[in-house]
Chain A
Amino acid sequence: MAAATDIQTVNIIVNGIELAVPKGELVVEAVKRLGLEIPIFCYHPRLKPVGMCRMCLVETGMKNPQDGTIRMMPKPAAACTLPVSEGLVINTESDALKKDRKGVLEFLLINHPLDCPICDRGGECPLQNNTLFYGPATSRFIEQKRHNVKAYPLSDYVTLDLERCIQCARCIRFTEEISGDSQLAFRFRGNKTHPITFNETKFTSKFSGNVIEICPVGALTNRKYRFRARPWDLQTSEAVCLNCSNGCNIWFDHRAGKVVRINARTNEAINEEWTCDKGKFGHDYYNDEKRLETPFARTGDELQKADYATVYAKLLEAFHGDNTGMILGDSLSNETYITAQNFFTGQLGSHNIDYRFSANQAKGASTVDNSIASLELAKTTLVFGTHLADDLPIVFLRVRKGWFNQGTQVILATDRSDEVSEFAAHTLVYKPGTEATIAKAFAGQVSVADAAAKCGISEPELQAAITAAAGATVITTTSLNHEAAEVLKALDGNFNAYPTGANERGAQLALACDGLSALEQLKKAANGELSALWVVGVDLFSVGLPREEVIRALENVDFLAVQDSRRTETFYYASVALPMTLPAEQDGSYTNCEGTTQQMKAIIPPVGQAKPAWRVFEELSIRVNPRMPFSQASEILASAPAFA
């Protein structure tokens, strides 16, 4: 870490106040140190400045170091492209500037439709705000306004309104600098200039939702949120996205108990201010019409509505001893894992409680050396056996940021080229199933020539990548072939096998995993060797196992308990079923891939009679062994040493 004294500062004068700021800082940022705000449109702290909108005009001058006189420049300058230098004088307020800002806004509004009442940005629109504070009250433009395409579906998620665009290029710069897919660009000139995908193809970026949030007007809007509410209709709460293991911080916007929109919430250590599309647009399951609302019990061929007491009695009758098993999903709360383990092993005496469906999720390889934020500082990164933009989107953004800003050398080894190959120094595309061999080649355990032949890579390419990868920070996932993982872990550099399930990390920490794994339980169930199986928060038909195997397992187990938030396919095989709340309907904590435990509070009311899974385990557990149960989620976490 650089000591504070290493930072070079320069002395500047802002509105008559002397100030020392880091050399090279942009004026627009420097004035924030005094609590001042310069109005902006195109400037974004995480994008390179372009100076396109001229909203940020300030008066500048120079202080003569000899006699201390100040000479002001005759014309204003853009604060977002001007770095501070010794003796710089800035004025952010003056009559001339007021006039300039009015002028800039008047020009912007000439071609702006001002259809705020039907614009999804209305109420939280920077153009509205700046016009209110700095703009003219009326318009002098009486001519016909420019007309252009409205409500153009850029993709399944993003709508483009060309009349509202103010040509700030934030969206374009995002795709070039942050997500790296460079799908957007300006076309045409003059007042016809507008952003669009090349050839008007679909905007398929995996991070497209972010451009909606950084667009300073309502030109790019959310198709899923379109016309569903206005900002003042919404209640918003802090939440964590649980659609993958990165644990992005989000704003959960809800109206009348229903989620309507997800926005990114800034957390510098994790997602900065971004989200991926899976998270931003993937929270429909809260409003799923197949939500499970009551307990069910089977009589004969039919699943019928039942009450908790009946189902509890049946469960306690069916489950005891090592002949029974519990399979948990990998996105449940830490509290669920802790209470499930205590109840199932402690009270019911079965060790078969597990979340692992693949043989590769072996515990030994689940080391994580790097926090997400520290990845951008790595000198060399080896991305192995994972498609980062899909599996760990925020890790992908960090790795790319490291390459973009510090020139991290990235080496990719996967079974097909993907977004990472766009900037990787070396891309090795190996034949599927040869992970272990190529990993051994990196460790020098097999000869490069043999490995190259076996994996279908040219020898010099492989040799170059191996040389470059010396001491690299390895990034992979827990589902990597365990042999390959062991070899890579033993290499010199840091090793990170990030879990991909939303709270797989929490499951790793909370569950003992000393019985049959989830996969083994299903195999045993298929052979009729398991008397009862309890499935919590996972649809067995969507974990990537062959359908027939799953069906055989579900049909051959005597008693199947399903605890889930919706009527999944597994539900229809159940002997009894219990409704479960989703993360935003309950208090709980979740541990992301780097090991940060984050809290979620109950935001919306649970549907029907759904209960948090941990409460069900506690209620059952006091029936077996009367004691003081946990009444709050926070008590449970505090009781578990693994999360201390």
Chain B
Amino acid sequence: MAILDKIVKPMIAGLGITSKRLGHSRPTVMYPEDKREQFPRTRWRHVLTRHDDGLEKCIGCSLCAGACPARCIYVDAGENTEENRLSPGERHAVRYEINMLRCIFCGYCQDACPTGAIVLRKDFELANYDREEFIFTKEMLLEPALSERSK
């Protein structure tokens, strides 16, 4: 009798829980084929955004670099001219680099940016094989212009 009470009954109860759960939806996703939807305010890989007219929002002011606690942003600025206008106003970023190995994804750069140029979005797949590849350049960070995006 002791065997029935101590072993068989709990087993049946356990199987009961299991069979109940079989009806629930499955939390594990088949990554990388399937990807889980990220929360709206997730902070992952940075993107340099553009105005609707295609001009870059970034004005190369280095405020993000100043706010960054990990000191992983490097900005070199240049002057806009009639022939070479990258952003509205007088100034644009010539070089914009983030060292993703150092970035702690705090989002302070996004906070500091006066134009809303740098934003942390949902792309979390940042692994790589080569240390050099973790230096994200302006070309990598900049989102495609609207006209190119629809293609």
Bound pair (A, B): yes
Q: Which of A99-121 contact B (CB under 8 A)?
A: 115, 117-118
Chain A to chain B contacts (Cβ below 8 Å), 20 pairs: A117-B61, A117-B63, A117-B114, A117-B115, A118-B59, A118-B89, A122-B61, A226-B79, A227-B77, A227-B91, A230-B61, A230-B62, A230-B63, A230-B65, A230-B66, A232-B65, A232-B66, A233-B65, A233-B66, A233-B75
Does A146 count as interface, using CB distance less than 8 angstroms?
A: no
Provide the residues of chain B in CB contact with A226, threshold 8 Å: 79
Does B111 count as interface, using CB distance less than 8 angstroms?
A: no
Of B66, B79, B114, the contact of A227 (CB 8 Å cutoff): B79
Does B78 count as interface, using CB distance less than 8 angstroms?
A: yes
Does B90 count as interface, using CB distance less than 8 angstroms?
A: yes
Does A228 count as interface, using CB distance less than 8 angstroms?
A: yes
A233 to B62, CA, bound (A): 8
Sample of 14 further A-B pairs with CB below 8 A, known A118-B90, A151-B90: A117-B63, A117-B114, A117-B115, A118-B59, A118-B89, A123-B66, A226-B79, A227-B60, A227-B90, A229-B62, A230-B61, A230-B66, A232-B62, A232-B65
A563 to B66, CA, bound (A): 41
Query: Chain B 56-97, CB within 8 Å of chain A: the 1/0 string?
Result: 000111110110000000011111000000000111000000
Q: Which of A111-161 contact B (CB under 8 A)?
A: 115, 117-118, 122-123, 150-151
Size category of the A interface is 10 to 19
Provide the residues of chain A in CB contact with B75, threshold 8 Å: 233
Known A117-B59, A118-B59, A150-B90; judge A227-B78 contact (CB<8 A).
Answer: yes
A395 to B77, CA, bound (A): 38
B61 and A118: CB pair below 8 A? Answer: yes
A115 to B115, CA, bound (A): 11
Q: Which residue of A lies closest to B62 (CB)?
A: A230
Provide the residues of chain A in CB contact with B90, threshold 8 Å: 118, 150-151, 227
B62 to chain A, nearest CB (A): 4
Total A-B Cβ pairs within 8 A: 38
Query: Chain A 281-299, CB within 8 Å of chain B: the 1/0 string?
Result: 0000000000000000000
A63 to chain B, nearest CB (A): 48
A227 to B80, CA, bound (A): 11
Q: Which of A548-601 contact B (CB under 8 A)?
A: none
Provide the residues of chain B in CB contact with A228, threshold 8 Å: 76-77
B41 to chain A, nearest CB (A): 24
List the 8 shortest-distance A-B pairs measured between CB atoms, nearest first. Answer: A117-B61, A230-B62, A227-B77, A118-B91, A232-B66, A117-B114, A227-B91, A118-B59
Provide the residues of chain A in CB contact with B76, threshold 8 Å: 228
Q: Which residue of A lies closest to B113 (CB)?
A: A117
Provide the residues of chain B in CB contact with A232, threshold 8 Å: 62, 65-66
Provide the residues of chain B in CB contact with A227, threshold 8 Å: 60, 77-79, 90-91
A228 to B77, CA, bound (A): 6
A262 to chain B, nearest CB (A): 19
Q: Which residue of B lies closest to A226 (CB)?
A: B79
A219 to chain B, nearest CB (A): 14
Q: Which residue of B lies closest to A227 (CB)?
A: B77
A118 to B66, CA, bound (A): 14
B122 to chain A, nearest CB (A): 27
Provide the residues of chain B in CB contact with A123, threshold 8 Å: 66
A232 to B59, CA, bound (A): 16
Interface centre among A123, A150, A230 (most CB of B within 10 A): A230
A258 to chain B, nearest CB (A): 11
A118 to B78, CA, bound (A): 10
A230 to B60, CA, bound (A): 10
B15 to chain A, nearest CB (A): 64
Provide the residues of chain A in CB contact with B60, threshold 8 Å: 118, 227
Q: Which residue of B lies closest to A151 (CB)?
A: B90
Provide the residues of chain B in CB contact with A118, threshold 8 Å: 59-61, 89-91
A151 to B62, CA, bound (A): 20
Q: Which residue of B lies closest to A161 (CB)?
A: B90
A232 to B115, CA, bound (A): 19
Provide the residues of chain B in CB contact with A229, threshold 8 Å: 62
Provide the residues of chain B in CB contact with A230, threshold 8 Å: 61-63, 65-66
A159 to chain B, nearest CB (A): 10
Q: Which of B88-137 contact A (CB under 8 A)?
A: 89-91, 114-115
Q: Which residue of A lies closest to B87 (CB)?
A: A118
A150 to B91, CA, bound (A): 12
B65 to chain A, nearest CB (A): 7
Provide the residues of chain A in CB contact with B114, threshold 8 Å: 117
B57 to chain A, nearest CB (A): 12
Interface centre among A117, A123, A229 (most CB of B within 10 A): A117
A11 to B50, CA, bound (A): 63
Query: Chain A 199-231, CB within 8 Å of chain B: the 1/0 string?
Result: 000000000000000000000000000111110
A227 to B63, CA, bound (A): 13
A229 to B91, CA, bound (A): 12
A287 to chain B, nearest CB (A): 14
A233 to chain B, nearest CB (A): 6
Provide the residues of chain A in CB contact with B61, threshold 8 Å: 117-118, 122, 230
B109 to chain A, nearest CB (A): 13
Q: Which residue of A lies closest to B91 (CB)?
A: A118
Interface centre among A122, A227, A228, A229 (most CB of B within 10 A): A227
Q: Which of B11-59 contact A (CB under 8 A)?
A: 59
A230 to B77, CA, bound (A): 10
Provide the residues of chain A in CB contact with B77, threshold 8 Å: 227-228
Q: Which residue of A lies closest to B60 (CB)?
A: A227
Provide the residues of chain A in CB contact with B63, threshold 8 Å: 117, 230
A122 to B65, CA, bound (A): 14
Query: Chain A 220-254, CB within 8 Å of chain B: the 1/0 string?
Result: 00000011111011000000000000000000000
Q: Which residue of A lies closest to B78 (CB)?
A: A227
A64 to chain B, nearest CB (A): 53
A123 to B114, CA, bound (A): 14
A230 to B76, CA, bound (A): 9
B96 to chain A, nearest CB (A): 13
A452 to B60, CA, bound (A): 64
A118 to B88, CA, bound (A): 11
Provide the residues of chain A in CB contact with B62, threshold 8 Å: 229-230, 232-233
Q: Which residue of A lies closest to B115 (CB)?
A: A117
A228 to B79, CA, bound (A): 10
